[in-house]
Amino acid sequence: MENNFGCTWCTSTGRCTHNPDQYCEDRADNVHSASSVSVGQHRGSLDCPMIIQTSAEILVASGEYMQLLVGVRNLLPALMTSYDCQFNIDGIITETDAYLNESAETISCESALFQYSRKVDIVKAPFAVVWGIKKLPLDDKNPVDVTVYKCSEMAALCGGCLLLDPKYHCGWCDDGTCNTQKQCLSGPWFDSINGTICANPVITNFSPTSSPLEGETVITIEGSNLGISFDDISPYVTVAEQPCNCSAYRDLYVPASRIVCSTSRVRSITSGDIVVLVRGDSRYVATSTEIFSYVDPQLEGIYPTVGPQSGGTKLTIAGQYLDAGSSVKVFIISQPKDTAGSDSRVEKRQATAVEQSCSVVYQNSSHLICLTSEAKGTGSAIVQVKFDKAVKNLLGIPFEYKQDPYINSTASSLENGKGIGGIPSGGLKVYVQGYNLDIILSPKLRVILGNRDYKSDCVCLNSTLMVCDSPQFPAAAAVLGERPQALEYGFIMDNVFSLLNASSQQEALGKFTLYPDPVVHSFSEVGQIKKYKTDYLAISIDNQCEVCNQEDFFKVWIGQEPCNVSSVAATLINCIPPAVQPGRDTKEQYPDVTVVVGGVRKYVIGYLQYDTEDLLLPIWAIILIVTVGVLLILVIIIVVVKYCMNMSESEKEAKTMRQRFDWIEMQVAAECKDAFAELQTDVTFPSEDVSGFGILFHDYKNYALKVLFPNELNYAVLGDIEVEDETRRPVINKALSQFSQLIDNKTFLLLFVRTLESDKYFTMKDRNVFASYLMVALQGNMEYCTDILKTLLADLIEKSMQGNGNPKVLLRRTESVAEKMLPAWFTFLLYPLLKDHVGQPLYKLCVAIQQVIDLGPMDAITGEAKYSLSEEKLIRVQIDYKSITVNVLGLCQSSGKSVPVRVLDCDTISQVKAKALNTLFCWTPYSTRPHPQDFELEWRSGMHGRLTLQDVDRITEVDGEWKRLNMLRDYKVQDGAMLALVPKQSSLFNLSHSCTPNKYENSSLKPSPPHSPSSLSSSITTEQQSLLETGAKHWHLVKPTDSDVISEQPDRSGKLVREVYLNRLLYTKRALHSFVGDLFQVIFNYELDQNTGVLLPIKYMFDFLDDQALHHEIVDPEVVHTWKSNSLPLRFWVNLIKNPEFLFDVNKSNIIDSCLSVVAQNFMDSCSTSENKLTKDSPVSKLLYAKDIPQYKKLVTEYYSEIKKEAAVSDQDMNAMLAEESRVHVSEFNADVALMELYKYAEKYSEQILNALREDEFARKHKLPMKLEQVYNTMAEAEVVTVMNHRNSRY
């Protein structure tokens, strides 16, 4: 209606028209414009039906319902019978019913849901009221908008939420969100009105991170929930336990998110956290994650030490803690030149010292860079740096202001002194002479072309000479044309502005002449291939540059080698090519010729062909060829003569080889026949009765220690903690008590283990040792130990399932603490099974292996034997021997009783003594038995006939440096001979001791450690000991031979002979077959485990692995089978099979070890689910048991299946068993020693462990970082006590 066109608004149709008579239905309700000629009572826009906003702003929270009331004017009740309200919320139209109130002045909209999905804080929702069937809108002269908002988008943190405008009615919910009270569904809700403090205040960062000791450093602290008002934090901010003044920076405080304060002065270097205590309430503490430090900045040096008086020198200051403080200023204080005089003069000079500022442009902890300002005079000056209130002077290294540099002349050459110039490509030398040129660090040449500056670098050769490269002018070629131009130039030398336009201020320097780029013409020959015949190569150029005659300005390359430029003229370049045609850079036939102008512009002008048709060989080349020919003929003659001489030797060698092959053939035939006969006739099976020997078990303590610490001789956990000063012990005990409480905290222990395992310096050896000591420390609480083990195993399984890893390799290698703890767990719990059942067949197997080995010869040097399960320990030669029985007198020789001992006539004297002692002391544990080196062996005949038998004596067979050990047959000892063991006088076991039969069983003397068979010193007298020290080599049954000498024995490395003797392995395997089978049957006997009660830990651990497989949705049964095999058979049983000395007090020789390794390997193969596809090239140890493995696999599968069918073990039953285990063995070891060893790792990796604890929310909640620091501090007190005691002892 506000127009001059005379329009009319048809209210009934909602149309603006110029012809109301035609288009309007009810003329009485029309509204006419002021200029309309139509007749009517309604005129002007104020008479239109319209809505009026009743409030300044309509606010509603997203997700809430609201009923809206708006004012209306000029409604026509007779025409407008129905109303609706429409809201456009983020593009979605919502419509509700509306009602005209009785006063006809307001319309009420029904309650509508105001909601939007976008993550924005506020959305404007336009509002309209429509009427009638056509939904015609009422006029809205001042558009009404509904403001829909989300508190959660307006503020994500509590502090920001409480600072929102109260009109939004936002507050903080207990669930950690900002919402209106209606939308806070759980927990309490509070806003800024009730004065509540936001929980969990946090400091995210602060700057700077250090302050000088003098303080006054302004720190800006940023974070969240840092109070609502300035008074909440003002007196409660501390930095490194020192107050931080906020009062002067009230205006810079941003509620909840930023605090500005200044540090206090301290006396010494210190560091600590920044702590904000909101309203002084200890429940609302914000602590920085980084450390703030009070430091003492130190100045150490400057570079350069000189600069121009005009300033501009980029001065670098080196030192320590140069980034301390919030404000760093550098000053250069000039001192008067007169430094002599009295104290009063000094005060006068100080009063006249001039302070020059140096603007800091770069700063870090070790360097400051600033730009010097202009000085009032020259001379030395002191560099001073102010770190806030701290003032530091650099003494002993002054900075010297010198007179500004001055330029006398410039030239393109030092010889001819021509004016300077250049070309658009740049690269010409400009020589500058003057004085004080070297005080500028980075001088530059500046040439002005048009309105632009073109610069290039200069190098100062000394104080009076400087050389610059002419700059490049990229856009000058098109502007320059063919005529040179004279340009103004100058030099950029820090703030020495007098040289910036040197050419205009000093006419003697002349102008910079810019010449066109020289043009290099391509070769005019066909194909641009130029033939080279003379000594020089001429290249045509067009060079207008008068100063471009510098020989190093033009560089010529032929292929990959330079052509030395000899002269440069206006139209020609002459260079000397290489003597020989160079290699090619391209695929062309000849090398290309490239001319480089000024080091930038390159011209490839063609190719160069060396013309050698007319060249003749020089005299020296002819002489060289003749000399080489003569020498070649002489060499041929010598070779022919040598060949003829070697022919006869070759024939002799061929004859020898034929003889050798014949001998080997006979050996092979004899061995095959003997092996066949042994297998078919006299296979001797070892006795299964060990009752005559007894099973020599270790007790639980020694058994557990040998498994946990296999490489140690002295076990620390059996003793007490070694303390240098006994006054430390109470303090150490207190620290260990605190540390024990931490170990008993599951969160701490898991973080401890995971942190160590994540460190790359925590080696495999460290993991094994750590796990062993951890098991000792937790043995008194096996329930807790089992819980920790299960958690670590679950983590290990989770890790193995990530990525593309193979889950079957889980527990196969000892790469984690859990993998070491698992066999130790079984070690503690399965000892009854070993003692009562599995120990007997394992002991029988070890005794049987020794009996089979003793049936045949064994080399005392190499440890190889005729009968073995291991191919590596098999003697591969034929040995003639026979078995004899000798009668051996024991220590009580006066009784006249002897013991029959079975030996071989090829045994060495030491071997005979060892067999005799094993027979005499079969009831005695090996660790308390005497050893062969303690005795001499005498052969007695009649009343007085005695002969001492020794490994080496005067009858020893000697062959050069080789000596063969004496055997029984060397002394002609016959079957039934009487031998006696006579203690040596130097031995602990001599005749002065009683000859009681149980002497060695009960003796408190500890015999020397056992010697291996290869140790000879135990059986050699003093006279022969000197022979050994001369470097003599010894052998027993097989003597190493050289490949070019025919020996009585075949070559031990021959492949044919090696495989012939493999039947001996089959003989040994057949003799031991029942013992191996019995061992496997007992280990995988489900009914035995069930009856003995040891099934609980096995069933419990197997069920845990089944649950983990189900949790990770593993459906492949082979994976779970492999996990179980890796956990129990591989990690526990294989270890005991390979190391029976862990369970028994026996001696495990090298050959027994190799045989048990074969048994253990087949034990592992039996537990594997993969098919063993064996061929003739497969390892012999696998072929040996190829037919037995399927039976053993079936046994393992049935064992696993029966255990799985068994009812699940309840936690109550398992915990009862574990509690009983802890009770019985709680005092076996010193747990404090184990805790001390664990503490050493906690101390070594203290920083990593503390960081991990601080990052863990649960650990922080229970103050675990603080408790660990208390342990560190208590241990440190022990060190202080020791130091104080040492000091007191001096007085």
Backbone angles phi, psi at 248, to 5 degrees: -75, -5
Identify the pLDDT of residue 508: 86
Q: What whole-number distance in Å separates Cα of residue 889 and Cα of residue 897?
A: 6
The pLDDT of residue 615: 45
Residues 290, 315 contacting (CB under 8 angstroms): no
Q: Are 299 and 394 in contact (CB under 8 A)?
A: yes
**DSSP code string of 504-570:** HH-GGG--EEEPPPPEEPPP-SGGGEEEE-SS-EEEEEE---TT---TTTEEEEETTEEEEEEEE-S
CA distance linking residue 553 with residue 1287, whole number of Å:
78
What three-state secondary structure class fits 658?
helix
Could you tell me the mean pLDDT of each successive run of 10 residues in the chain, 1291 residues long? Answer: 69 76 68 59 70 80 89 81 88 88 85 90 90 85 86 87 87 86 81 75 94 95 90 91 93 91 94 93 91 95 94 95 94 68 45 83 94 92 94 93 93 76 86 93 91 92 92 69 83 93 89 87 87 83 77 82 86 87 75 84 86 59 86 90 78 74 64 58 53 73 89 82 80 90 92 92 90 92 93 89 73 82 90 87 90 90 88 83 90 70 93 90 83 88 83 88 90 91 65 41 34 32 40 81 41 49 80 88 76 76 90 87 89 90 88 91 87 76 83 89 87 89 87 91 93 91 91 80 41 35
Helix crossing, 1231-1244 with 764-778: angle to 10°? 140
> What is the Cα–Cα distance from 1093 to 351, expressed in whole angstroms?
97
Tokens of 758: 């994540």
Q: Please, which residues have CB within 8 angstroms of residue 427's CB and are 6 or more apart in sequence?
A: 469, 470, 472, 553, 597, 598, 599, 600
Q: How far is it, in rounded angstroms, from Cα 1028 to Cα 1020?
A: 9
Give the DSSP letter of residue 835.
I
Residues 374, 310: contact at Cβ < 8 Å?
yes
- pLDDT at residue 366 in the model: 94
What 3-state class would DSSP assign to 239? strand
Backbone angles phi, psi at 326, to 5 degrees: -100, -15
C-alpha distances in angstroms, 429 versus 3, 77, 411, 526?
Answer: 80, 98, 9, 37
Would you state the pLDDT for residue 221?
Answer: 96
Q: How many CB atoms lie within 10 A of CB 467?
A: 14
Q: Are 10 and 25 in contact (CB under 8 A)?
A: yes
Give dist(CA 991, CA 1000) in Å, integer.
13
CB neighbours (10 Å) of residue 686? 19
Q: Which residues pair with 382 in a beta bridge?
A: 333
Q: Give the amino acid at 567.
A: S
Largest CA distance in the chain: 167
The C-alpha atoms of residue 664 and residue 657 are separated, in whole angstroms, by 10
Name the β-bridge partners of 856.
Answer: none
Check the CA dihedral 179-181-182-186 and report its sign.
Answer: positive
Tokens representing 775? 């098991």
pLDDT given for residue 1180 in this prediction: 78
Residues 6+ apart with CB under 8 A from 759: 1245, 1248
d(CA 224, CA 198): 9
Concatenating the DSSP letter of every residue in 137-168 gives: EPB-SS--EEEEE-HHHH-SSHHHHHTS-GGG
Residues listed for the chain: 1291
Phi, psi for residue 930 in degrees, rounded to 5? -75, 165
CA 636, 637, 638, 644 torsion-angle sign: positive
Q: Which secondary-structure segment (H or E) carries 225? A: strand 218-226
In this prediction, residue 2 carries a pLDDT of: 54
List the 270-272 sheet strands across, edge first.
Answer: 210-212, 292-295, 270-272
Segment holding 399, helix H or strand E: strand 390-402
Question: What is the rounded distance in angstroms from the CA atom of residue 1099 to the CA atom of residue 878?
Answer: 52
Distance CA 277, CA 285 (A): 5
| CA angle, residues 141, 143, 146, in degrees to nearest 5 | 155
Q: Quick check: helix, strand or coil at residue 578? A: coil
Q: Are 1236 and 721 in contact (CB under 8 A)?
A: yes
CA 228 vs. chain centroid, Å, equals: 44
1120 phi, psi to nearest 5 deg: -65, -40
Burial, 1023: exposed, middle or buried (Cβ in 10 Å; 0-12, 13-18, 19+)? exposed
Please name the helix (run of DSSP H) or strand (run of DSSP E) that holds residue 408, with its range, or none. Answer: strand 406-411
